Copies of this chain bind each other. A is one copy, B any other.
Amino acid sequence: MNILEKISQVQNSFSKSERKVADVIIASPETAIHSSIAALAKAADVSEPTVNRFCRRLETKGFPDFKLHLAQTIANGTPYVSRHVDVDDGPDAYSAKIFESIMAALDDARKSLDIVKVNKAVDYLTQAKHISFFGLGSSSSVAHDAQYKFFRFNIPVSCFDDVLMQRINCINANDSHVIVIISHTGRTKSLVEIANIARSNDAIVIGITSEDSPLAQASNLVLSMDVPEDTDMYMPMASRIAQLALIDILATGFTLRRGDKFMQNLKRVKDGLKDSRYEK
């Protein structure tokens, strides 16, 4: 892949003229990629076919293809391969690793998300007379975020991170309620119990949780994402970011379902917040 390394590897099999080409390229790859074959030939004091033969020897299709490879090689520094934070990582190393592992997790989450179920969830949410978001611990901040988002839509929405309040909310629920329960593991006892109470009152329970977990079994609809949880630090990191992304998706689906007029309403909300801010 790295064409410059390859040049130095096959150095011995080069002819005298080809060596000249190699030298010019190694001396200034940046110049080489912006040169025509004629310019490069002149710089190396060889003929154009020699440059072309040089390129082919590197197993490229020809000069333009060679330039492409060279461009990729000099594009940028090496990315971190190991995603796990190491005890003697410096700030730059662990920062990069965390960003990368989050992005990798989001990529996995995207691939594993069932779009049909997302659409179904949006169906439920748009038809709901009342929406509640529940979460505990780390997931409670996701629930708060969801509440904040849906609150902008000017629909009745609640968020509870208190098991008693959650329970009361479920006891009073009915078939026009949608309860969204967020739990990465799906094994938190109280949340499973609460889901069952809601179900017994004909409320719709959407679980943002792991497939096949007790909470998943207690939900009407499960939105699950495969996220490799980083056990390094013994705390949830990537999972809740994937959950937030899912909340964004649900909110977006909700908005799109409601149409254009609704979006203008969102804009109005945003504009209305201006007074609480300093002017730019």
Contacts and interface: CB of A to CB of B under 8 A. Distances in A.
A235 B152 contact: yes
Nearest to A266: B234
B71 A245 contact: no
- The complex is assembled from copies of this chain, and their number is 2
Contact of A110 (B87, B95, B267, B278): B95
Contacts of A122: 91
Interface string A55-93: 000000000110110011111100110000101010110
A244 B241 contact: yes
Contact of A87 (B94, B109, B113, B256): B256
Contact of A266 (B72, B185, B233): B233
A85 B270 contact: no
Given A103-B107, A237-B248, A244-B241, A119 B144 contact: no
A165 to B, nearest CB: 16
A234 B137 contact: no
A213 B182 CA distance: 34
Interface in A246-280: 248-249, 251-253, 255-256, 259-260, 263, 266-267, 269-270, 276-280
Residue of A33, A138, A252, A280 with highest tally of chain B CB at under 10 A = A252
A145 B138 contact: yes
Interface of A is mostly: helix
A228 interface: no
A19 interface: no
A138 B147 CA distance: 9
A214 B280 CA distance: 9
Contact of A187 (B65, B109, B152, B278): B278
Interface of A: 33-34, 64-65, 67-68, 71-76, 79-80, 85, 87, 89, 91-92, 94-96, 98-99, 102-103, 106-107, 109-110, 113, 115-116, 118-119, 122, 137-138, 140-142, 144-145, 148-149, 152, 185, 187-190, 192, 214, 233-235, 237, 240-241, 244-245, 248-249, 251-253, 255-256, 259-260, 263, 266-267, 269-270, 276-280
